[in-house]
Each structure stands twice: as C-alpha cells, then as structure tokens.
Structure 1
Amino acid sequence: MGDLKFKVALSGDFRMPDGSLTYPDFDLEPLRKAPGLEMTFLESNNPLRADQLEDFDALILLTHRFVSTSVPKSGRLAVVARFGVGYDTVDVEACTAAGIALVITPDGVRRPVAVSVITFMLALTGKLFTKDALTRKGPHGFQERSQHMGVGLVGRTLGSLGIGNIGAEVFRLAKPFDMRFIAHDPFADKKVAAELGVELVGLE
C-alpha cells in the first residue's frame, strides 16, 4: 500500500538546541491535528541536505537555506513553503527544475514588521533609550529629562522606499499620527498609494 500519510518537514531552526520552539506563538496544532498528515522537525542543517527530505511531501522553511543540493532524488517533495517573504534563502531555479512549488507567507510578516517599524520610529523620536538611561540613574538622571524631549510627529514627513505589502501597512498604522506620507517605488500600485494618502516621489 505504501505510505499514505502526507508528510511535512519543518526546518531544524524551528526548534532551539534544547528542543523548545524558536517561536512559541507559531501555532502548530493545525499540522498536528490534521488527519492523514505527519509533521516532523528536521535536524538543524544549513543548507538542508537532500537525504533529509527524501520521504517528505512538503517543507516549511524558516531561515535555513534550500539549495540545489537540497533537492531530494525521490521526486516526492512537492512544495517548499517559506515562513516569511522573499526567496533569498531558496534556489528558485532548482525548485523549478525539480517541479517543486515555492510559496511564501506575506500575511504572516506584514503586520509584525510594520509594527516593528512604527516601534522604532516612536522610540527614536521620543528618545526612549536616552530616557530609559536617565530613569535608571535615579532622581539625578530623571531631572535631566526635559533636556531630551524628543520630536513630535504631527505635520512631519514619513518617507518609505517601497510601498509594497509591508510598506503599505506601515502607512496604515501611521495614519493617526497626522503625518505627510511620501514614498518611492517604481512598481507601486497608484490606487493603493492614493487610498493611503501617499504621494509617490522620485528617489532623491
């Protein structure tokens, strides 16, 4: 009869050296509970080795590399799913030649990365690190806080190189700050830019 289970491999970097999950919030229950599906964590090898993947139908790849020598000879591997965006860790031509579908997860990183951008923007304009250091100095340091007031955002300009999936989300999150939005992106969707109130400008 053969192996009727659909076997999914997760690259070894999904687990820490102690066996705990690298990202505990990443919900693996749908994979664990799916009928007819078997999930396995690979040993941590970077790049992945072909012999690790001979008996799998799908691979979920975190940051480890999938190169031409990672393609299993069995021909069973049907899909490589990048946990993230971009193909810089995957040999696209090798996947194409082997008939392996390659997919990414743009919605999985769009909001978290955009939130990180806004977090850094607020930390820098509010001089958060300086204020943290002053607070840790006690009353003497705290008295100096007025010398490090930071910069307000209303009326300031927020510029972005790129207004794709993540860039557009940054502008959505920044909307309440009443800033002027500009972006440079030769491939921008002009309709999306207009909806977000973003003025498309040249690189300079």
Structure 2
Amino acid sequence: MNNNAFTEFINLNGFSFFKITYNGALPPYKAGDIESIKSAKKYYFEATSDSYDFKTNFVKFNKACIHIRHHFKNKIIRDLDNRNRKYIIDAIRYANLIDDDDWQHLSLHEDAVLNPVLNCLEVFVVAQENYIDLLKYLESIDNIREDLEQKQIMLDDERIQEEVDENVIRVTIETIRKLNRPNSPSLMVLTDKQKA
C-alpha cells in the first residue's frame, strides 16, 4: 500500500465497484510539456498499481463506467475539461479493470465537490448497468457530507457564542472589581457625583 493512492473494492446493495482515491488534485493538461506528461503518467501508473492487488482480487468490467470526482479545498474556478485524466484511464486499463478504453467498452463522467480538508481525486469504476446505482450512492454520500458540514457550522456558531458570552462575563467581572476597589477612578467619579 502506498501514500499516493488507496483502492477499495466495494460490494453494496447488489452491485460492486472499485473506488480509487488519489492524493492531490488532478493536474491540468500542458500540451507540449513532455516532462509534465511523463511525470503524470508515471505517478498514476505507479500509484494505481501499488494501491491494490488487482491480480489476486481479479474483477474486470466488460462495459464500464468511470466516474471521476474531484475534491477541491476552495471555490477557485477550475475547468474540469483542462485536467489530464488520460493517464488515470490508461492506469485503470493497465490494472486490467476494464477490457478497453474505447467507446464500445467505456463511458466517462466527472463532477467536483468542495472539500475544505484536502484536494484529492476519487475514481469509481463500475459496470455500465450499475452506473445509476453508483450515482445514488454518491448522492447519499453528498447528503451525509452536507449534513455534517451544517452540523459543524452550527457547532462553530455555538462555540463563537460561548466565547462571546465568556468574554462578556469576564469583562463584567473585571469592571465590577475595578468599581469595588478603593480609590478607583470610577468610584471617585461616582462619589463626586453623589456629593453634588
């Protein structure tokens, strides 16, 4: 197992799929940049093959769907069509998960989600007949994520309110202590007013 990718074979509600998670965002395609192309190809081939024992746990999809899900830490504008997905698809074919990556054997889909924790890439490989099931699974994951984010926002709001309340109490206590000190300027002003 390596730190660059993690692969799971998941059986869920009567269908199965591979989920490959890669660290970092998928780099944009740079035409003519041979070093960048070689680097991307090497990274995705090695990360994919090192992430799972594909030979022992042999599963192959004749007609497959690959769904690429980008996780971005912020909302900076990024065009998904400028991302270099070719070497991921080639690595999946090389791992023997799909028969071929031509139009008769493969369809490709992608989307993106906001993930404030890290940039990463999830790649799902599923039989074409189960792609709708995969989308339902992803929708349920999205709903859980949104619910957790909403709860985190509520917890953060409560924490901020508690800090504000604690600061108000602290300042109030400090003010009362100052007012109760002998020769306090505030107390002297109060005393002068009382004398008048």
Same fold (TM over 0.5): no
Greater helix content: 2
Query: With structure 2 as the length reference, what TM-score do the two structures score?
Result: 0.31
TM-score, length of structure 1 as denominator length: 0.30
Give 1 or 2 for the bigger CA radius of gyration: 2
